Structure 1
Amino acid sequence: MAKDELFPRKIRRFELRLSEPELHQFLELEKSLGISRADIVRIRVLKNSTKMLVNAKDLMKQLDLIGAELGRSGNNINQLARHANVLHKRGMLGHEVTTEFNSLFTEYLKVQQELEKLFRQILRLMKG
């Protein structure tokens, strides 16, 4: 397949009239997404008119915060498990504590699985 077939030359111009506030908003969008104005229009209007443009920088920042929080949760769970093991070896671990821990851990695993599903959906949307 020839290069021109994959990436046809852009020879037509399209003019868009905007108010000053709209222009500033558009320029901010271009800056935050890190893609050209022409690509914003092409993506939004021609390719994926039903999909939403995403500020990748903000999204990655939020995903990083969620990942850090998951890491802290994992560390806390490991600390609790170690402490429970010590108490168990000393015969000081009550049945109600084990039952409550298992219940909370099961709920944590459900939330983590739901987050994984949402992350996969986000990645699919970002790919387009």
Structure 2
Amino acid sequence: MKANKRDRIVKVRLTNLEYEELTKASKSSKCMSDYFRQRVFRKGVGLIDPKEFIRSMDEICLEMKRIGNNINQLARYVNIHKEEVNQEVLNEVEKKMADYVIMQDKLNVTWRKLMSIK
């Protein structure tokens, strides 16, 4: 016989809306019991719906690509019209490019960390 056998049953009353939300949230776990145990006993660790997470990451990546394209267009314009652009604008473009690269690196590091979680 298992030393830590789960033989206690907990009952909870929910509204239809609460039950639908619970069912949706628990899809990231094997069963609703696992979901409850993870939520109650692993404090500070939130569960992520994998489909929603991937959808959000796709949106973030798309937005990062758009920002990168905008920065490239600015850089192209500055390179073509060097005489017409003042130094202040050049400094701002360089700063935005550096910020973008830092943000993209952080996003890549975070993505790699998340992909290594089992």
Q: Same fold (TM over 0.5)?
A: yes
Secondary structure at the residue paired with 2:81? Answer: helix
Residue 117 of structure 2 is aligned to residue 127 of structure 1: yes
In the alignment, what sits opposite 1:37? 32
Work out the CA distance in 1 between the residues paired with 2:88 and 2:20. 60
Residue correspondence of structure 1 range 48-87 to structure 2 within 5 A = 49-50=42-43, 51-87=45-81
The normalised TM-score by structure 2 is 0.66
Secondary structure at the residue paired with 2:72? Answer: helix
RMSD: 3.2
In the alignment, what sits opposite 2:106? 114
In the alignment, what sits opposite 1:7? none
Q: Aligned letter for 1:60?
A: I
- Preserved contact between residue 39 and residue 47 of structure 2 (Cα < 8 Å): yes
Q: Aligned letter for 2:59?
A: L
Aligned residues: 112
Work out the CA distance in 1 between the residues paired with 2:20 and 2:91. 57
Unaligned runs of 5+ in 1: 1-10
Work out the CA distance in 2 between the residues paired with 1:23 and 1:34. 16
- How far residue 72 of structure 1 moved from its aligned partner, in angstroms, is 0.3
Residue 101 of structure 2 is aligned to residue 101 of structure 1: no
Work out the CA distance in 2 between the residues paired with 1:106 and 1:25. 42
- How far residue 78 of structure 1 moved from its aligned partner, in angstroms, is 1.5
Q: Aligned letter for 2:47?
A: L
Work out the CA distance in 1 between the residues paired with 2:50 and 2:104. 22
Q: Aligned letter for 2:24?
A: E
Work out the CA distance in 1 between the residues paired with 2:101 and 2:86. 23
Work out the CA distance in 1 between the residues paired with 2:97 and 2:52. 30
Secondary structure at the residue paired with 1:99? Answer: helix
Q: What is the percentage of aligned positions where both structures have the same residue?
A: 28
